[in-house]
């Protein structure tokens, strides 16, 4: 029967039992004694299974001995205890069927040696076959499943919010335009502007930067909801933590204030860290060995500690009296840069920090104004090694305050008509946050660049594959 390699290595089959595994050759070694050792992987776990292939097989000389890395094979044989160190079980092959050859092994870009992450990006279609990308992919999947499970267990409904939208939910003007208009022959209004009334949706539309506004509408009816989907930002930041297309998890809770949502963020992170340590111990051990010595202890420490809450205003004082020179000078009112965030989380606290109550002028229009009139009920979760991984807030549920904020920020009230309705018809206090999924995967694996934890990264100047 077709066995998954994870099950073979985990001892799910008895010694002497016949199994068939299907996968790709990771390495092959021929011994003088006329036996070949073929390591086969199928992605179900970190390790490959060793197939011991005897010279008696009819295709030994003309096929088995010609196998190279990445050839696809179907191996049938009996389960045996492995003598060598490493795995407990191996397969004594009785049949090896070669399904696909590698045209010319010298031209195969993923030869089994260590490649730089930059090199692997040039082969985004083949890098899933590498140890490191396989491990990232399984950990990413584990985190996604754990996030859904966390919210499901707490009674949240998952809302699929739209990808094409007319509203700029962050009000930051970093949107990709969606249009079917003929670029050569754009229709114009009498004022000479592009006439989007002739476009597909009869208005100007964009790829969403966040599902938040839509999910707020469902929050104000189903109480506990979240989105988990792709979001798009045309910000021209070529950094190791920005993508033009990234995935975001956005829960939204009715009758919740800032403290409630901060606690939800802390609980969720701990839950998913625990899940990954339990379910992907093999891949995490690899990251600890190869990428970041501290990978496992770091997560365990997060699970065991309580996250520090700190006011923005206090953080500014800490940064000022740190004695450090930052590239970007510190004063009350600045938008914290990643050097500041990292100082706070890494050097000052040494653990995740939940920074709260930011100046209103650097935050989005929907955040709730505090009684001081200067700050809003916002929170960012800053993680050591990466900086902001979560941004959230209590929402402005008072219509007159919301309108004032839209005005102050130069946003047109008319564009937010349906959003304002939520404040006109049975408004409630509510709060939510957004977790950048790639930043989470980067944090968990220790892999420093978000381009290496998403299947096909989209960044300025790069949309290949
Ligand atoms: O702080 P942001 O912009 O918040 C929002 O979009 C809110 N609507 C969330 C909410 O309250 N529902 O983005 C949230 C998170 C950031 O903390 C960061 O982790 C991630 O999304 N993020 C990015 N990740 C990768 N590439 C980018 N360009 C990102 N921009 C934001
Ligand atoms: Mg933010």
Q: Identify the pLDDT of residue 18.
A: 97
Q: Identify the pLDDT of residue 50.
A: 97
Q: Which ligand is nearest to the CA of 170?
A: 1
Element (H, E) at 226: strand 224-232
Report helix, strand or coil for 158: strand
Q: Identify the pLDDT of residue 405.
A: 95
DSSP tag of 335 = P
Task: Name the residue with the closest Cα to ligand 1, atom 6.
Answer: 210
User: Tokens 């946050």 identify what position?
Assistant: 433
Tens digit of each residue's pLDDT (9 = 90 or more) over 230-272: 999 998 888 999 999 999 999 999 999 999 999 999 999 999 9
Q: Which atom of ligand 1 is nearest to the CA of 450?
A: 25
Q: How far is the CA of 437 from the centre of ligand 1 (A)?
A: 9
The structure tokens listed for 337 are 């840069």
Contact by Cβ (8 Å): 352, 371: no
Task: Name the residue with the closest Cα to ligand 1, atom 17.
Answer: 390
Torsion angle (degrees, nearest 10) of CA 433, 436, 442, 445: 60
Task: Name the residue with the closest Cα to ligand 1, atom 25.
Answer: 242
Alpha-carbon torsion 348, 380, 444, 261, what sign?
positive
Q: How far is the CA of 436 from the centre of ligand 1 (A)?
A: 5
Q: Identify the pLDDT of residue 236.
A: 81
Distance between CA atoms of 247 and 391, rounded to whole angstroms? Answer: 14
Q: How far is the CA of 283 from the centre of ligand 1 (A)?
A: 27
Q: Identify the pLDDT of residue 306.
A: 86
Tens digit of each residue's pLDDT (9 = 90 or more) over 388-404: 999 999 999 999 999 99
Q: How far is the CA of 268 from the centre of ligand 1 (A)?
A: 16
Distance between CA atoms of 188 and 200, rounded to whole angstroms? Answer: 15
Cα angle for residues 122, 124, 128 (degrees, 5° grid): 135
Torsion angle (degrees, nearest 10) of CA 269, 274, 276, 280: 170
Q: How far is the CA of 46 from the centre of ligand 2 (A)?
A: 34
Q: Identify the pLDDT of residue 393.
A: 98
Q: How far is the CA of 391 from the centre of ligand 2 (A)?
A: 5
Report helix, strand or coil for 19: strand
- What ipTM, to 2 d.p.? 0.99
Contact by Cβ (8 Å): 336, 349: no
In the sheet that holds 177-178, the strands lie side by side as 164-165, 205-207, 177-178
Half-sphere exposure of 305 (CA within 13 A, CB side): 16
Q: Which ligand is nearest to the CA of 358?
A: 2
The CB density around residue 183, as the number of other CB atoms within 10 Å, is 6
Task: Name the residue with the closest Cα to ligand 1, atom 18.
Answer: 436
Q: Which atom of ligand 1 is nearest to the CA of 439?
A: 19
Q: Identify the pLDDT of residue 168.
A: 82
Q: How far is the CA of 233 from the centre of ligand 1 (A)?
A: 10
Q: Identify the pLDDT of residue 191.
A: 94
Task: Name the residue with the closest Cα to ligand 1, atom 7.
Answer: 434
Q: Identify the pLDDT of residue 293.
A: 94
Task: Name the residue with the closest Cα to ligand 1, atom 4.
Answer: 391
Cα angle for residues 83, 89, 91 (degrees, 5° grid): 95
Task: Name the residue with the closest Cα to ligand 1, atom 28.
Answer: 242
* 401-433 CB burial, b ≥16 within 10 A, e <16: ebbebbeeeebeeeebeebbebbeeebebbbbb
Alpha-carbon torsion 149, 151, 155, 157, what sign?
negative
Q: How far is the CA of 389 from the centre of ligand 1 (A)?
A: 8
Binding pocket residue ranges, ligand 1, CB within 6 Å: 169-170, 210, 212, 233, 235, 242-243, 246, 248, 250, 388-393, 432-434, 436, 438-439, 450
Q: Which of 71, 74, 105 is nearest to 91 (CA)?
A: 74
Task: Ligand 1 pocket test: pick from 211, 215, 248 the residue with the most ligand atoms within 8 Å of its Cβ.
Answer: 248
Contact by Cβ (8 Å): 90, 50: yes
Low-confidence residues of the chain, pLDDT below 70? none
In 87-156, the DSSP E strands lie at: 89-100
Q: Which residues surround ligand 2, an ion (CB under 5 A)?
A: 391
Bridge partners of 157? 225
Alpha-carbon torsion 451, 454, 456, 460, what sign?
negative
Distance between CA atoms of 187 and 11, rounded to whole angstroms? Answer: 67
Q: Which ligand is nearest to the CA of 368?
A: 1
Task: Name the residue with the closest Cα to ligand 1, atom 24.
Answer: 436
Q: Identify the pLDDT of residue 171.
A: 75
Q: Identify the pLDDT of residue 72.
A: 98
Task: Name the residue with the closest Cα to ligand 1, atom 23.
Answer: 436
Q: How far is the CA of 381 from the centre of ligand 2 (A)?
A: 9
């Amino acid at each position: 029967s077709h066995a998954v390699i994870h099950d073979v290595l985990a001892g799910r089959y008895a010694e002497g039992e016949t199994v068939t595994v299907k996968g790709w050759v990771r390495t092959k070694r021929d011994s003088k004694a006329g036996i070949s050792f073929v390591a086969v992987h199928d992605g179900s776990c970190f390790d490959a299974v060793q197939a011991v292939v005897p010279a008696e097989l009819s295709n030994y000389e003309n096929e088995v001995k010609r196998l190279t890395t990445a050839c696809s094979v179907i191996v049938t044989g009996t389960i045996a205890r492995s003598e060598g160190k490493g795995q407990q079980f191996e397969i004594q092959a009785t049949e090896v069927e070669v399904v696909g050859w590698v045209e010319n092994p010298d031209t195969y870009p993923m030869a089994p040696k260590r490649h730089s992450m930059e090199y692997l990006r040039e082969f985004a279609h083949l890098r899933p076959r590498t140890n490191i990308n396989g491990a990232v992919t399984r950990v990413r999947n584990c985190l996604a499943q754990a996030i859904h499970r966390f919210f499901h267990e707490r009674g949240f409904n998952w809302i699929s919010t739209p990808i094409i939208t007319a509203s700029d939910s962050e009000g930051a003007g970093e949107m990709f335009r969606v249009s079917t208009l003929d670029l050569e022959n754009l229709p114009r209004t009498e004022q000479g502007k592009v006439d989007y009334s002739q476009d597909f949706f009869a208005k100007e539309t964009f790829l969403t930067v966040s599902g938040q506004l839509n999910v707020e509408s469902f929050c104000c009816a189903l109480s506990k909801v979240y989105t988990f989907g792709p979001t798009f930002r045309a910000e021209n930041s070529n950094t190791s933590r920005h993508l033009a297309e990234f995935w975001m998890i956005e829960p939204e809770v009715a009758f919740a204030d800032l403290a409630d949502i901060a606690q939800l963020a802390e609980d969720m992170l701990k839950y998913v860290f625990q899940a990954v340590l339990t379910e992907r111990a093999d891949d995490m051990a690899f990251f600890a060995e190869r990428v970041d010595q501290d990978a496992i202890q770091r997560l365990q420490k997060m699970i065991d500690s309580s996250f520090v809450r700190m006011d923005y205003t206090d953080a500014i004082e800490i940064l000022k009296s740190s004695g450090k020179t930052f590239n970007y000078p510190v004063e009350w009112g600045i938008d914290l840069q990643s050097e500041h965030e990292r100082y706070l989380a890494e050097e000052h606290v040494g653990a995740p920090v939940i920074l709260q109550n930011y100046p209103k002028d650097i935050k989005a229009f929907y955040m709730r104004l505090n009684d001081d009139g200067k700050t809003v009920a916002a929170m960012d979760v800053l993680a050591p090694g990466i900086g902001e991984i979560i941004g959230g807030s209590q929402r402005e549920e008072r219509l007159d305050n919301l309108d004032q904020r839209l005005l102050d920020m130069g946003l047109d009230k008319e564009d937010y008509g349906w959003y304002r309705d939520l404040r006109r018809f049975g408004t409630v206090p509510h709060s939510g946050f957004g977790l950048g999924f790639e930043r989470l995967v980067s944090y968990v694996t220790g892999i420093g660049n978000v381009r290496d934890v998403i299947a096909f990264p989209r960044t300025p100047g790069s949309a290949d594959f």
